[in-house]
Amino acid sequence: MSDQVTERAETEQLVAEISRLRAQVAQLQERVEQLDRLAHQDTLITLPNRRGFMRELERLIDRAKRYDHHSAMLFVDLDGLKMINDSFGHRAGDEALIEVAQLLTQGVRRSDVVARIGGDEFAILLENSTEQSAHETAARLVDLVCGSEFTHDGDALPLSIAIGVAMIDGDGTPKAIMALADEEMYRRKAAA
């Protein structure tokens, strides 16, 4: 009898230890997922950051290569953020960034990816997009942001953006596509 009691106690201990280890593994997996989200999400705005955007861009390039369809990247630069920060404070600048992020997100399809890739820079991935529709979307977003009625502490602050477009056909690298969109954005700024 004594051996059975000892065996039962050891089995119960083993089951309890397995249960404890499973709970610990679940907690660690949750923590890894949380850290992954933090590594790929902007700290101010609930959008992907540059790292998260690059991961999505790589996936889109792979899909374009595999399925032979075209997509586009929009490189968005918020004009005058330094002036807003210098004149009204960084809280106003943060609010302007949040406003632009919301407008950009509202102005594209739910399946598109909007990310903040730098201080005053955003990027958008338009899957299954022609060059013409990408330019139309860019023009619509420029109008949307310029037409917004952004205020900070009762002061109306005009917002404007410049957007460059680069097509994704599966041949380019993420770095090359970003550079093309960035160059076009600067050309549009210079022409304005």
Q: What's the average model confidence in pLDDT over 93-111? A: 96
**CATH code of domain 50-191:** 3.30.70.270
Q: What's the average model confidence in pLDDT over 64-71? A: 90
Confidence of residue 24 (pLDDT cuts 50, 70, 90): confident
Active site residue 120: yes
CB atoms within 10 A of CB 84: 25
Indicate which residue of 42, 77, 112, 120 is catalytic: 120
Domain regions of the chain by residue span? 1-40, 50-191
pLDDT at 35: 63
pTM as predicted: 0.81
DSSP the chain: -HHHHHHHHHHHHHHHHHHHHHHHHHHHHHHHHHHHHHHHB-SSSSSB-HHHHHHHHHHHHHHHHHHT--EEEEEEEEETHHHHHHHH-HHHHHHHHHHHHHHHHHTS-TTSEEEE-SSSEEEEEESS--HHHHHHHHHHHHHHHHT---EETTEE---EEEEEEEEE-SSS-HHHHHHHHHHHHHHHHHH-
Q: Are strands 71-79 and 121-126 parallel, antiparallel or unpaired?
A: antiparallel
